[in-house]
Amino acid sequence: MDDAVERAIEYLWERYDRPLTLTEIADSAGLSRFYFARLFRNSTGITPGRFLAAIRIYHAKRLLLETPLRITDVSVLVGYSSLGSFSNCFTSSVGISPGRFRRLAPTGAPELSGLPPAHRAGSGAIAGTISLPAGHGNAQVYLGAFPTRIVQHRAVAAMVVDVPGGRPSCYHLPHVPDGTWFVHAVAVADGVGPEARRRTALIGMHPLVAVAADGVTSAAVRLRRRRATDPPVLLALPELTPLPAPATGGCPATTARQTQLARPSTLPRQPALTGLARTVP
């Protein structure tokens, strides 16, 4: 039945600009709407409607970055009949308004993590390893704890980790509020050998990580290429640029460089967004 879900997702990517109904999407998969809705959620972790909304916002980000179209025109082109609804959905998903996203693109996006440590009473931490798939060199990874299966605003805690190719690296994400979170990772990785200059977007997730106050929860994250059933990344990310030299130190033989991310007010400026980081599908 994965083929049915993939057919439906392909249908969404092809017709995201139309006012699709659940019945139409289910028909594209050749299933009844009720069975399809349950199957789709079991396969992707979200509803067909939420997946469609993510595709629309993804395309809106690309249009805002790559064309001079007015925001009103962008909203229509990605399937919204109301500018207000589009702006609200975009802002809640990406973390900044459509206009600000376009203005910040040349100079960098503000970090969108949670409150600074001083305001985090009763928080814990998540720690573990980040692994790259075979055939990739060094990578820079955005890692965060999120309330949903979609990488969207806002992460309750986040950091950037440099991961060397060929071996896993440790991370320690502090100041995570008490609760259950999805640990998402989005990376840009170098190639190896003749393909060393070819960079690839990778993603990874560890679901339902329970964090208790003053405790440390283990969660290993394995990066991989995107699958058809993965919703697009919506959060406005900082530039992710792999380091030319591998990180060194412990884990137990490796220590990745880790930069905890703070609120916009504590960061004067973030690096510019790359094409991969801005619009990872």
Are residues 121 and 237 both part of a single domain? yes
Are residues 14 and 121 both part of a single domain? no
Are residues 177 and 64 both part of a single domain? no
Q: Would you place residue 260 in the very low, low, confident or very high pLDDT band (cuts 50, 70, 90)?
A: low
Tens digit of each residue's pLDDT (9 = 90 or more) over 50-99? 999 999 999 999 999 999 999 999 999 999 999 999 999 999 999 999 99
Are residues 157 and 267 both part of a single domain? yes
Are residues 264 and 174 both part of a single domain? yes
Assess if residue 111 is contained within a domain: no
Assess if residue 52 is contained within a domain: yes
Tens digit of each residue's pLDDT (9 = 90 or more) over 24-46? 999 999 999 999 999 999 999 99
Please tell me the predicted confidence (pLDDT) of residue 245: 66
Picking from 39, 74, 104, the residue at the C-terminal end of a domain is 104
Please tell me the predicted confidence (pLDDT) of residue 112: 42
Q: Is residue 261 scored above 60 in pLDDT?
A: no
Give the torsion through C-alpha atoms of 194, 197, 201, 205, to 10 deg: 70
DSSP-based three-state secondary structure for 203: strand
Are residues 55 and 168 both part of a single domain? no
Picking from 104, 133, 153, the residue at the C-terminal end of a domain is 104
Are residues 249 and 121 both part of a single domain? yes
Assess if residue 110 is contained within a domain: no
Are residues 271 and 177 both part of a single domain? yes
Give the least confident one: 51-65, 178-192, 230-244: 230-244
Are residues 98 and 141 both part of a single domain? no
Assess if residue 57 is contained within a domain: yes
All residues at 6 or more sequence positions from 72 whose CB lies less than 8 Å from its CB, including other chains:
83
Distance CA 106, CA 41 (A): 37
Q: Is residue 48 scored above 90 in pLDDT?
A: yes
Picking from 45, 72, 104, the residue at the C-terminal end of a domain is 104
Assess if residue 86 is contained within a domain: yes
Are residues 98 and 125 both part of a single domain? no
Q: Which CATH number fits the domain that encloses residue 30?
A: 1.10.10.60
Bridge partners (DSSP) listed for residue 161: 141, 258
Are residues 125 and 100 both part of a single domain? no
Are residues 89 and 17 both part of a single domain? yes
Assess if residue 109 is contained within a domain: no
User: Which of the two residues, 244 and 137, has the higher pLDDT score?
Assistant: 137
How far is CA 140 from each of CA 9, 38, 49, 82, 135, rounded to the nearest angstrom?
29, 36, 32, 37, 15
Q: State how many domains the chain has.
A: 2
Q: Is residue 243 scored above 90 in pLDDT?
A: no
Query: Containing domain of residue 245, as a range?
Result: 117-278
Assess if residue 242 is contained within a domain: yes
Report, as an integer, the average pLDDT of 170-192.
95
Backbone angles phi, psi at 18, to 5 degrees: -110, 160
Q: Is residue 155 scored above 90 in pLDDT?
A: yes
Q: Would you place residue 266 in the very low, low, confident or very high pLDDT band (cuts 50, 70, 90)?
A: very low
